[in-house]
A and B are shown apart, each in its own frame.
Chain A
């Protein structure tokens, strides 16, 4: 038997790793689910040829004028019907013929409707014989790195790092406590710090598989760019995972039942799923709550990951999110070591 055989830290880590690999559900949620999510979002938000907008007009003459613009699909309906279709979103804009011109009926808070208004007016003016005062040419960009999938992949990565760390630690620890395994372990001469360290080590081991699989998929399937240093990206993933592990440890440090633990985990993670900018930019939230949003570990993690992957920022440019993540690592870890319930 080798020396490792007798190393309790090695054995504890291997136990964690084995238990994880023998849990098919965990494999699904950590490895498969983020990839499925990326596929789904990639399909939903793929770059289509510029979208054709549905509009309507009250006279055939107006409809013909609108139809000259390739960006519009026009039909003729009466005003009452048009109002109904506006309400249901079937059309974005209704052009109403007036004795002295045209009235456009649309919702100006909807960006698509505003676009339709610009296109419609241009088409109507051109049909009436207006000419552009300045000659303009279009040069079209469909650059990688600016698409929604590029934006969402670092978000999903951050979300996945959070989920796997918090679930992975939280449930395992509370289960061991509930099944009195913790009680049995502390009755043996096992060094307690090794029990907790084994969680972190096995987490890092799985992190490699999980991050590489996900990012390789994002790269191959969507051509998501990696503009920053890959090593620094690796460091960011490790730091993020450790921070959330510390948080998971804190959540699990007192809870006696799985129900209590899962309630606490949802309480901790739900605000971050919503506020931390996984699917859309966190800066969309009102300025009043921005300090809170910025202080969340997931916001910091995603900001740092996006900075690295999309903008090619170095660690030196990411001091703020790195500082926030480090604080989230140190304080929860220190607190949970003090309050951890071994029985």
Chain B
């Protein structure tokens, strides 16, 4: 099956939630979903879709009165009502408060458990980590990394990130010899991000004392020091060399 010859057949089997879609404000939730249901030959009932999206209370409310999270769940319900095999979710949690976001995550989890294939785009790396089995990182329209979240995190060489800021005791300036830092056993990489030095580190418990020793030997004074487990965000920033951007 391909798009040239059987576009509508394919459309019957996919569900799409677009971030920018604004449904007519003066229709009710139920009317909107019923409209979308009528486009599909087979699918779940309107009531079932409302239930899945947890919009029962808002069933007869106009779309214009819904909150951001409820609107996203309505978009989700419209995407689900044709019982799609493949579901596209375009930044489903953008602009939602943390609670509404978790709500939507639970919904995506449920759909995943039910065996559907979901393609989800997001700018939130924690979201990708939490929801996705495979993650592709795209930069300027090209896939620059692809794998499970664990594989991607492993690809940066260490499980932990050490971040620190320093002031030199002599001049008060930030002068670190990066070569010396990278030479420390267990340190996999070094970069500077927003005035903070970031080291990618393996075996935190043995490497950290060596970092302290090295900095002390260079006569540098630590003004800030923290560590965290490497995340997809570190992968993204490491790969694109920039902070998260809008596009």
Contacts and interface: CB of A to CB of B under 8 A. Distances in A.
A190 B12 CA distance: 9
B2 interface: no
Contacts of A14: 31
A179 B37 contact: no
B72 to A, nearest CB: 13
Nearest to B22: A179
Contacts of B82: 188-189
Given A11-B34, A188-B82, A19 B26 contact: yes
A109 to B, nearest CB: 54
Interface of A is mostly: helix
B35 interface: yes
B18 interface: yes
Nearest to B62: A22
Contacts of A19: 24, 26-27
Given A5-B38, A8-B38, A189-B8, A15 B31 contact: yes
A11 B18 CA distance: 21
B171 interface: no
A22 B26 contact: yes
A193 interface: no
B22 A180 contact: yes
A6 interface: yes
Nearest to B17: A184
A7 B41 CA distance: 10
Contacts of A181: 21-24
A18 interface: yes
Interface in B1-60: 8, 11-12, 14, 16, 18, 20-24, 26-27, 31, 34-41, 45
Contacts of B34: 5, 11
B82 to A, nearest CB: 7
Interface in B116-133: none
B21 A189 contact: no
Nearest to A194: B39
A256 to B, nearest CB: 14
Nearest to A179: B22
A179 B11 contact: no
Q: Which of B14, B26, B82 has the most CB of A within 10 A?
A: B26
A11 B37 CA distance: 9
B18 A184 contact: yes
Given A18-B26, A180-B21, 9 more contacts: A10-B38, A11-B35, A15-B31, A18-B31, A179-B21, A183-B21, A188-B11, A189-B40, A189-B41
Interface of B: 8, 11-12, 14, 16, 18, 20-24, 26-27, 31, 34-41, 45, 78, 82
8 contacts: A5-B34, A8-B39, A15-B31, A19-B24, A181-B23, A183-B20, A184-B16, A189-B41
Complex A-B, nearest 5 residue pairs according to Cβ-Cβ distance, in ascending order: A179-B22, A189-B11, A11-B38, A22-B26, A8-B38
